[in-house]
Structure 1
Amino acid sequence: MGYGENRGDYWRARYKIAPGKYGTVLDAHGKAVRYKTKRAAEKAAGIAEDEAAKAAAQPPAAPEPEQMSFGEYASAWYEEQDLAASTMQNYRRHIEEHLLPEFEDALISEITKGAIDAWERKERERGYAASSIKTWRGTLHLILADAVDDGLRDSNPATRRRGRGKRAGRSRNRGPEKVVTNALGVLLIAERAALLSGRDDEFVAVVLKGFTGMRWGEIVGLESAFVRPASVRVEWQLYELDTGELHRCPPKDDSYRTIDSPEFLSALLAGQAARAKRTPCECHGLNYLFSGHGAANGAAQRPGAKLSDVARAAGVSTGTVSNVLNRPEMVAESTRVRVEKAMADLGYVRWQTSGESAAHWRRNGFATWLFHPAATGWYPKKAPEEARPVPVLAEPWPGVPARGRGAAGRAQACWLPIARGLTPHGLRHSHKTMMDELRTPAKLKDERMGHEDGSVQARYSHITPEMRRDLMDGLTQMWIAALDTRRRMAPGSPVAVLDALLREPQE
């Protein structure tokens, strides 16, 4: 509480600033004000103390705009976004894993084009694909463009100026061309995927993807109610977030559509629907055409804190937590310390996965352990094991994968590659190529793929029943030719659904 201090021939006003610390009321020149009476000094001290208390209660002043760091601005920028969960996850990953390690402490107003180009060179030297680096730079461009709008910069240094730099042509940032396959390749890969999983589901799913061009998330999220006698309706997809959650959301770019299915594919889907589980999945309470394969991630059942809990407590993505655990040199020091503190506070312990069956496929598990070995004949590298051929028993053809301890020693053969470098998404490209071979009109191709052509020419084009019928006939002929070729290789198959097709009487 303020008080008046007797200084002999005058009184000085003293007021409390902090516990055990007092200040003196000063005049405009910084000298102590001399009061004639004690009461006047006490009154001035009281007023000064109230003002000091109000000032202390005010939040700390925000940094001057020109002094704001990239880390501070990027954090505020991210919080202001209101986009799809998948987009928010991607932005967060770009920022935390690739932008903050380089620019976190740099002032937003002092980031230069040279610094951005140097960062891009470092990313290339680390082995990242040119397309990935281009995507991350695009996110940086968005952030800095908004910083310009907010008056924190005069220009955007991440903007690329055309016609400048090395004259390397358009190929400088091009990645390798996407690998595609034909109808026979789709059938053979589908058969191998089913042999690896030990069930028909994977055969039907790969054929569905190859002959409709559906996106991976659309197939995983295909509900049984949307499978019709001669078509498949795309209304939803399941998008896998970093937290492990499969987020049910509209298809990419709201590409709702009805995809015509040839008679052979409709029959495969009807058989799959008859085999599918009748009970809804626990995560969404819906019936899906396809269920997961292999062990489920035990994170949901195990006791204690999970990776997602650590990410939430530290305010980062699960990908950043994974990097702290496995590649700490890729994470900014301040972020790493924050994550490690969250681990310690929550008592996080790394666990092994459980042996329970998964409700849905996981993108990485399907691509890595089913699709990749089926397409290439090789299991991928996974420490401590190097990449290795899929060991198979020679009979029945095309060979049944050997399993268990000593499988390589018991193997009698291995698979040759069908399409080395092919990915699940490559089947979408493959389907587009099939339609090109069949001379399918562009309007029908766009509808089937879920693309949108905003040109005037597209507006004046229309789809007719004859176009649809020609496409279905063409795809059916491709399937019949692939089955005939496969039948000449061997008259039967260890995959039940394919074996029945191969043994059907030929017309």
Structure 2
Amino acid sequence: MAYAEKRGKGDRPWRARYKKPDGTLGSEPGFRLKSAAEDWGEEQEARIRAGTWIDPDLMRTHFGVFARKFMAEREKRGRTMEKRWEHLEKRILPRWENAPLIGITWFDVDGWQMLLPCDDVTRGHTVSFMSTVLTAAVDARYLPQNPLQGRRRTAAAVSAPTIVKPRASEEDEAYTPEQALLVAERLGPAKGLHVITTAFTGINWGEGVGMHRDACLLTRRQKWENGWFECPTLRIVQEVAEYQDRGPNGERLPTALRLEPTKNPWRVRDLDLPPFLARLWRHHLADWPYEWPLSTENGKWWRRSNWLKQLRPAADGRPERQKRQGVSARAKWEPIAPGMTMRSLRHLHDSLQSQIGVKAPLEYEQAGHKRAGIKAVYQHPTPEMRQERLDGLEEIYWRAMSNVGMRAHWGRVDLVKRTSRS
């Protein structure tokens, strides 16, 4: 049974004593009256009997302490962990590191997020992750409830009229197949093939770097009328992730490059290759000696920073460089597609699919996107859909080649336009 003890002579001399679930005595000081301490202790024992009790000492755990426990025990994919640490270190911990879990209120969090020096989407992600940590604290019985659960953020007030910034989708540059081909030509066979493959299949950066040669030029075979539809494919089952590695206590380690499963189940897919692209891949695999076809010249996985050193001058242009001691001459390159990235090439592929009217079941499958609604259950890609897509991409490619006056790639792969289905 709970009881009260008098400790000292201050204005709050009483403390509550109660029996914890493990049989040890719990203690809570700071009561003015003996009766108040007894009532509090009896309330704890009632909650223990009801199975709803939470240790007050755990509720006073600092947010930073529990957040690090959460990160250590809830391992996710590398890039996800990197983003979570970024939310913690840049925004959350500077304000909430030493805040007791039980002392965090929605009123304070909402006021804090309004003043964060970042865009509103990032504010939302930051608060969402903080709520995830607090939900875990509830699950671990550190808190009775998450004060952030289900709350709607207050938008930051605008103190003065400003020019409205366009949405990201309205800012993105819409690149063309012609630009992709010209940039690929500058990059040379292996790097250029990566650009063309991204533009005409929608493969993402990590998927391309992490694709093994055993997954290349497989064959899709599907019943079609009185025969079979067949086409070459690239199989996506994994990707290379580059991220800031962390030790058990969150300490920074060297940047890691690791193979991981795809981001979600819908990213596991076979990419159908138009005839021109299948032929480029056959040429490439015939003389590429490494197991990773879209790797560096030494067969290693690309780091994003090193890849950008190749892509940026090819797309943005570069000045002429005169020959001097220890430095070779370099011709000037005019800009072709300023700002082009591998992500924008993935956008190009999705735009081309819409342009040629690719049907929704196949459009979502080839992009690696989840399709919402009941149609995702009932509709499936048919051979006719696949052939229409391949014919459309083939036509776009040859039209782009004609527009830029090209017949061959890199002076070594001469393509003959295909005129029949096979």
Query: TM-score, normalised to structure 1's length?
Result: 0.59
- 1:252 is the counterpart of 2:263: yes
Larger deviation, residues 454-463 vs 157-166 = 157-166
- 1:209 is the counterpart of 2:198: yes
2:65 pairs with one of 47, 60, 72: 72
Deviations 1:201-223 (A, max 9, x none): 11101001110001111100111
| Deviation (angstroms), 1:478 | 0.5
Quick one: structure 1 residues 81 and 117, their matched pair in 2 at CA, closer, same or farther if it must change by over 3 Å?
A: same
Q: Aligned partner of 1:487: which letter?
A: G
Q: Aligned partner of 1:135: which letter?
A: H
Quick one: structure 1 residues 123 and 161, their matched pair in 2 at CA, closer, same or farther if it must change by over 3 Å?
A: closer
d(CA) in 2 for partners of 1:86, 1:360: 16
Quick one: structure 1 residues 117 and 176, their matched pair in 2 at CA, closer, same or farther if it must change by over 3 Å?
A: farther
Alignment partner, residue 188 of structure 1:
182
| Deviation (angstroms), 1:411 | 6.7
SS in 2 for 1:455: coil
Q: Aligned partner of 1:152: which letter?
A: L
d(CA) in 1 for partners of 2:411, 2:165: 48
Larger deviation, residues 474-483 vs 171-180 = 171-180
Question: Within 5 A, what are the aligned runs for 1:303-452?
Answer: 359-366=300-307, 368-377=308-317, 390-392=318-320, 413-418=332-337, 420-452=338-370
- 1:96 is the counterpart of 2:89: yes
d(CA) in 2 for partners of 1:84, 1:413: 42
Q: Is the 8 A contact 2:242 2:256 kept in 1?
A: yes
Alignment partner, residue 84 of structure 1:
77
Q: Is the 8 A contact 1:227 1:233 kept in 2?
A: yes
Quick one: structure 1 residues 77 and 270, their matched pair in 2 at CA, closer, same or farther if it must change by over 3 Å?
A: same
Quick one: structure 1 residues 274 and 166, their matched pair in 2 at CA, closer, same or farther if it must change by over 3 Å?
A: same
Q: Is the 8 A contact 2:135 2:145 kept in 1?
A: no
Q: Is the 8 A contact 1:131 1:174 kept in 2?
A: no
d(CA) in 1 for partners of 2:296, 2:121: 30
SS in 2 for 1:426: helix
Q: Is the 8 A contact 2:184 2:196 kept in 1?
A: yes
Alignment partner, residue 241 of structure 1:
243
2:294 pairs with one of 287, 290, 297: 290
Quick one: structure 1 residues 358 and 266, their matched pair in 2 at CA, closer, same or farther if it must change by over 3 Å?
A: closer
Q: Which has the larger radius of gyration?
A: 1
Alignment partner, residue 264 of structure 1:
276
Q: Is the 8 A contact 1:276 1:290 kept in 2?
A: no
Q: Is the 8 A contact 1:69 1:106 kept in 2?
A: yes
Alignment partner, residue 470 of structure 1:
388
Structure 1, gaps ≥5 residues long: 1-27, 31-54, 56-61, 279-286, 294-356, 378-389, 394-401
Taking only aligned residues, the RMSD between alpha carbons, in angstroms, comes to 3.5
Q: Aligned partner of 1:215: which letter?
A: N
Structure 2, gaps ≥5 residues long: 8-23, 25-54, 219-231, 245-253
Quick one: structure 1 residues 163 and 115, their matched pair in 2 at CA, closer, same or farther if it must change by over 3 Å?
A: closer
Identity of aligned residues (%): 26
d(CA) in 1 for partners of 2:284, 2:412: 10
d(CA) in 1 for partners of 2:334, 2:180: 15
Alignment partner, residue 274 of structure 1:
286
Alignment partner, residue 24 of structure 1:
none
Q: Aligned partner of 1:188: which letter?
A: L
| Deviation (angstroms), 1:121 | 4.8
Quick one: structure 1 residues 412 and 142, their matched pair in 2 at CA, closer, same or farther if it must change by over 3 Å?
A: same
| Deviation (angstroms), 1:240 | 1.8
SS in 2 for 1:272: helix
Deviations 1:115-164 (A, max 9, x none): 4345445542xxx4544443333211211223344352644337542787
d(CA) in 1 for partners of 2:86, 2:112: 17
d(CA) in 2 for partners of 1:478, 1:358: 31
| Deviation (angstroms), 1:370 | 2.0
Alignment partner, residue 135 of structure 1:
125
d(CA) in 2 for partners of 1:138, 1:497: 52
d(CA) in 1 for partners of 2:204, 2:136: 32
Quick one: structure 1 residues 119 and 277, their matched pair in 2 at CA, closer, same or farther if it must change by over 3 Å?
A: farther
Q: Is the 8 A contact 1:221 1:237 kept in 2?
A: yes
Larger deviation, residues 476-485 vs 453-462 = 453-462
Quick one: structure 1 residues 269 and 87, their matched pair in 2 at CA, closer, same or farther if it must change by over 3 Å?
A: same
d(CA) in 1 for partners of 2:174, 2:327: 31
Quick one: structure 1 residues 130 and 166, their matched pair in 2 at CA, closer, same or farther if it must change by over 3 Å?
A: closer
Q: Is the 8 A contact 1:180 1:422 kept in 2?
A: no
Q: Is the 8 A contact 2:210 2:238 kept in 1?
A: yes
Q: Is the 8 A contact 2:292 2:300 kept in 1?
A: no
- 1:152 is the counterpart of 2:179: no
Task: Report how many aligned residue pairs link the two structures.
Answer: 340
Deviations 1:424-458 (A, max 9, x none): 11211111100000011111011101122241122
Q: Is the 8 A contact 1:130 1:173 kept in 2?
A: no
